[in-house]
Structure 1
Amino acid sequence: MKTTYIRLSFVSAILFGIYSCKKGEAIESISETSNYSNEISADSISSVATMSVKDKQFIKTANVDMEVKDVYDATISIEKSVQELGGFVTHSNLQSRVISEDTYNTSDENAVMVKKYQTENSMQVRVPTANLGELLSFVNNKKLFLNSRIINAEDVTSNIKYAELEGKRIKKTSENIAELKTTKDKVRMSDENMSENNSQQLANLNVTDKLKYSTVDILIKEPKLRIAEIAVANSTNVDNKYKFNFFYSAKNAFVEGFYLIQRIIVGLISIWPVIIIFALGFYFYRKNQSNKKLKIKTTDHSAS
């Protein structure tokens, strides 16, 4: 019986050891899988940005729209990161969009203006294409919520090859023109060829610049409204204080009445011919009426 118990204990210990090893391997496997997933997640942030294909050249651009905890702090961090990566900021429009604005009176003299606003910043930065993935990873670490992220890699290999061929053609044309006799047509063709060559050189410079530096448009904003409390004067009480003054208004009314009388008198003086004509007409009218009444009375007496 004792021997059987010892054997069972020994078997149990072996099974427990095997189970522990398997469990440890499983945990280790899960841990390795988790780390691998994290690496994949981190790499996927900039997989397109860091893409490189043999004998291919890409112009890379990116557009990021996300929400951050503090727009101002995120802006400063991104601008600093861009400079450290050898890039530069071409546009930054930091603004606060006011949602509502109300003023509350706290005393006869004081009041508080309460503004609810949302801060956002629209940025455009240019960074060496080799560091584009690093910048996008840094920007991604600042997010609270990512609305969208677009990364474009435009294959311009054929365009570059075509530009080289065009350069050779323009050079050959210039050599052919140089062999012509000097005429007005030669001067015109030489001028047109030089203008075409300048345009081609400018296009080449633009492509080279876009290949060297990637353009990244970044829109960052805060998910919640901020509130600003600003101490101001109680304008309502001030308006009521000076809205109406009886004695001042009465004095002005008296003065205005005096000026009105003066204006009436001056107006009457200015139309004195009309007044005289009206007075004479009224005088003759009254006199005519008096003569008529006198004739009627004389006629009545004669009849009697």
Structure 2
Amino acid sequence: MKTIKFSLGMLIALTFAACSANKGNYESDSASADSTSIETSVSDLPATETKLVKTANIEFKVHDVYRSSRHISQSVRSLGGLVTHHNIESTPQGSKTIPLSNDSLLVVSSYDVEAEMTVRIPSNHLEEFVQAIADDATFIKQARLDVDDRSIDFLSSSLKQQSRQKILDAQNLKEKLKTKDALTIADEQDQVIEQKMNNLRTEANTRYSTLELRFNQNTLIKKEAIPNNDLSTYRSPTTQRFGDALATGLNFTLDLIIGITHLWAFIILGIIGWLAYRYFSRNWKQKASSAQ
């Protein structure tokens, strides 16, 4: 945990060090520009505040991805931020089936769970949010901070916008405009609007820092009892099957007797034929013996 806090502490320190350095560089550049403003005839340039766009990328490990996702979302909302992307993915790694009884099985599966989040945090609360991540993480894999100073670009865009607007205002004062001139003015106005939009985007990116978060946990083991879908395993108890066999045999014997009873006429004819055969056979033997 000390290593985690140290890593994120370094990220926080780099954040404010970069801000201070950029601010100092900007002030130095402004001072140099002021010292030569008489020679360059641009002493009327308006002063502009520092426009720093900060983005960060943090990869870390947590105890529980789902719980940490809730904690991070709550922290973002409490600080006045916004979650712009959130994805949790569970990748199966393997499974094993263990019989519990004839009609149930225990399925043991392993999953790798990983989450990705993109959040926008008010820049003045960046340190507090990073500290909240440090308190929840068990290991920091990577922590990267990028600071983009857009102060000069913002000032350049603002000056161009004002200049174009003045020209357009002067053109619009004319009572009559040719179609070609009107179309040109319309194109120029579109460019002015686009510059305004770019400045608004820069303002928004300056007020809110964007953080890309990627975190995972140890392999998740899940146990689940499910019904056995092998129908051949579903059998009655042995005593019940033995009783059923006796009953089935008795029913088969009775059915056989009843079936034989239906043949009573043939049975009687068979008996009469057998008795007649015995009678004539005996008489034939007696006659044969008398003849000798």
Using structure 1 for the length normalisation, give the TM-score.
0.61
Corresponding residue of 1:210 = 205
Q: Paired residue for 1:182? A: 177
Q: CA deviation at 1:42?
A: 7.4
1:239/1:206 Cα in 2 relative to 1: closer, same or farther (>3 Å)? farther
State which of 65, 73, 76 in structure 2 corresponds to 1:82. Answer: 76
User: Do the aligned partners of 2:54 and 2:210 also contact (CA within 8 Å) in 1?
Assistant: yes
Q: Partner of 2:221 in structure 1?
A: 227
Please state how far the C-alpha of 1:169 moved relative to its aligned partner.
2.3
- Contact 1:99–1:117 (8 Å) recurs in 2: yes
Asked if the contact 1:48–1:153 (Cα under 8 Å) also holds between the matched residues in 2, the reply is: no
Q: Which runs of 5+ in 2 are unaligned?
A: 28-49, 235-292
Q: How does 1:67-146 map to 2 (within 5 A)?
A: 67-146=61-140
Alignment RMSD (CA, Å): 2.3
Residue 12 of structure 2: which of 46, 57, 66 is its match?
A: 46
The TM-score normalised by the length of structure 2 is 0.63
CA distance in 2, matches of 1:87, 1:107: 52
Q: Deviation per CA, 1:62-110, whole angstroms, max 9, x where unpaired?
A: 1100111111221122111112222121111122221113333333321
Matched, 1:154 2:120: no
**By how many angstroms is 1:238 displaced?**
2.7
- SS of the aligned residue for 1:47 comes to helix
The match for 2:231 is: 238
Q: Deviations over 1:211-236 (max 9, x none)?
A: 000011111101x211111121212x
CA distance in structure 2 between the aligned counterparts of 1:169 and 1:127, rounded to whole angstroms? 34
* Aligned match of 2:260: none
What's the secondary structure of 2:66's corresponding residue?
helix
What CA distance in whole angstroms lies between the structure 1 residues aligned with 2:184 and 2:63?
A: 61
Quick one: percent identity of the two aligned structures? 23
